[in-house]
Amino acid sequence: MALNIGSKAPDFSLSGTSGITLRLSKDLKGKSLILFFYPKDFTRGCTAEACEFRDQFSEFRDMEVPVFGISRDNIHIHEKFKKAHLLPFELLSDPSGDVCNSYDALIPVLRIPKRVTYLLDENHQIAGVFEGLFENKKHVSAMIAKLKKP
């Protein structure tokens, strides 16, 4: 099960593909954002999901909602994945799986990230969630619909 709508999003600090270390509470203070957790770079389902976020990125940009992908892959692999698929958003590396775990986005025994997407509001409360391993593209449409809902 994913985190509940209305709950406070756990704070984190992770390295990203732009050579930054992103701290949720500091660097994104007062901003709504999308966090999508996914199993592994360069796999079919994860590539489809990342490319769908890429293809619909203008929707998020126009609403001033940054998008961040998170998996346990290292920065080197993330950089290759981002370049290969021309991804216009940041990929964050969680090699320990601690952040994935805090967002209930980690399969316990296998320690592989689940496919779960969160919309955080400007107070970093969970405002929307979509979970589904085999519904790669629906994560994007669900977040767009949630953002456009009055």
Measured distance CA(102)–CA(60) in Å, rounded = 25
- Reported as a pLDDT band with limits 50, 70 and 90, residue 146 is confident
Q: Which of 55, 12, 48 is nearest to 33 (CA)?
A: 12
Residue 1, in any domain of the structure: no
- Reported as a pLDDT band with limits 50, 70 and 90, residue 101 is very high
9-66 pLDDT, tens digit each: 999 999 999 998 999 999 999 999 999 999 999 999 899 999 999 999 999 999 999 9
Residue 73, in any domain of the structure: yes
Chain centroid to CA 11: 14
Cα dihedral value 86, 63, 71, 54, nearest 10: -20
Measured distance CA(19)–CA(43) in Å, rounded = 24
**What pLDDT is recorded for position 150?**
61
Domain that holds residue 53: 29-148
Chain centroid to CA 15: 14
Structural domains of the chain, count: 1
- Please check the confidence at residue 107 and state whether its pLDDT lies above 90: no
For 59, other C-beta atoms within 10 Å of its C-beta total: 17
- Reported as a pLDDT band with limits 50, 70 and 90, residue 136 is low
50-94 pLDDT, tens digit each: 999 999 999 999 999 999 999 999 999 999 999 999 999 999 999
Please confirm, yes or no, whether 51 is among the known catalytic residues.
no
Residue 22, in any domain of the structure: no
pTM, rounded to two decimals: 0.92
Of 3, 33, 35, 46, the active-site residue reads 46
CATH number at residue 144: 3.40.30.10
Residue 78, in any domain of the structure: yes
